[in-house]
Amino acid sequence: MRCRIFVALTTTLALSGTSLRAHDMWIEPATFSPSVGDIVAVKLRVGQDLLGDPLPRDPALINQFFVVDGEGRKPVVGRDGSDPAGFIRVAAPGLLVVGYRSNPSVVDLTPEKFNQYLKEEGLDAVAAVRARRGQTGGARDLFSRCAKSLVASDAPANGQGDRPLGFTLEIVAERNPTTMAAGEDLPLRLTYENHPLAGALVVAINRAHPKEKLSARTDKDGRVRFQLPRTGMWLIKAVHMIEAPPTAGADWVSYWASLTFELQDRASVRSAS
């Protein structure tokens, strides 16, 4: 009954067209380093500066929710309307890549909020298009999420790493951060529709020190490099926005990519290897 009420409430809201502001969304597993055989709760979070609210499992929002391990791709199972949104079982040692792709949500933004959003997310090209066209009003944005998380069970081998999941906008770690120590060089690649996306702002936020953000623009190959200075959980995020097609019922379509993982200290990395 609870699920039914939740779904009914979801549908009611989905159609009401209220105004909200798009925030970051990320995957937060109960642990980033489980043991083989563990059941790991996978929480979805929406918020800012890694301060988030639980996002319960919503069948209307989920487009894809799965985990990829050495054996292939499996769905992240869970109960509709509940937080944590899903659970994964760690079947074998190695790296697990959890992926969540949402259906689009609509947000109506006032001119101030939309301009602030473009500025914060580094969407200079969109701001330039609006300026060129003399568009100063608010906008309707159709946003969707492309979130990933890296979970390492029992010290994955060096050869194992992040992999592309085929999301519209996707951050791929080109070196496995779960085997890296804080301060080491982490190359990341941003792709849009499986092609490198150049000039996009990529931001890295540490859970314990969210105000000390690191940011860089992708080069022509869609690549950025960060030396993440602290241990603990990190969120890497990027937003890409395109003009909405005429049938979309919106002005702009945005994709929010995120990647979460945990960096260990040097001693832990050395003892694991």
Partner 1 sequence: MKNRGWVCLCAAVIVFAWTTIATAHEIGTTRVSTRFEGESYAIEITTDAASLIEKLDAVGGSPTDATTARVDAAAMAKRLVACDDVFRQRVTVAFDGTDARPNIHYTVSPASDAMSPLLATIRLTGEVPRGASHFTWSYSWTFASYALSVTNGSLASTTEWLEGGQASAPFALAAPPPPVGRAAVARQYLLLGFTHIVPHGLDHMLFVLGLFLLSGRLRTVLAQVSAFTVAHSITLGLSIYGVITVPSAVVEPLIAVSIAYVAVENMLLSELKPWRIALVFAFGLLHGLGFAGALRELGLPRAEFMTALLTFNAGVEAGQLAVIAAAFAIVGWHCRRQTWYRQRVVVPASLLIACTALYWTVERIAPEASALGSWL
Binding site for partner 1 (CB under 8 A): 9-21, 23, 25, 41, 45-49, 51-56, 58, 60-61, 82-84, 87, 103-106, 142, 208, 210, 247-249
Between 60 and 216, CB nearer to partner 1: 60
Please report how close the Cβ of residue 82 comes to partner 1 at its closest, in angstroms: 8
What distance in Å separates the CA atoms of residue 200 and residue 216, rounded to the nearest whole number?
A: 8
Between 65 and 161, CB nearer to partner 1: 65
Please report how close the Cβ of residue 215 comes to partner 1 at its closest, in angstroms: 20
What distance in Å separates the CA atoms of residue 84 and residue 99, rounded to the nearest whole number?
A: 15
What distance in Å separates the CA atoms of residue 111 and residue 115, rounded to the nearest whole number?
A: 6
Please report how close the Cβ of residue 55 comes to partner 1 at its closest, in angstroms: 6
Q: How far from 160 is each of 129, 212, 218, 270, CA to CA, in Å?
A: 41, 30, 24, 17
SS3 186: strand
Please report how close the Cβ of residue 26 comes to partner 1 at its closest, in angstroms: 12
21, with CB counted inside 10 A (0-12, 13-18, 19+), is middle
Between 21 and 74, CB nearer to partner 1: 21
Please report how close the Cβ of residue 272 comes to partner 1 at its closest, in angstroms: 22
Between 39 and 131, CB nearer to partner 1: 39
Between 12 and 271, CB nearer to partner 1: 12
Please report how close the Cβ of residue 160 comes to partner 1 at its closest, in angstroms: 27
For residue 84, cis peptide bond before it (omega within 30 degrees of 0) = yes
Per DSSP bridges, beta strands 185-192 and 223-227 are antiparallel
What distance in Å separates the CA atoms of residue 11 and residue 35, rounded to the nearest whole number?
A: 39
Please say whether the beta carbons of 217 and 122 come within 8 A. Answer: yes
* Residue 59 structure tokens: 């069948």
Between 162 and 251, CB nearer to partner 1: 251
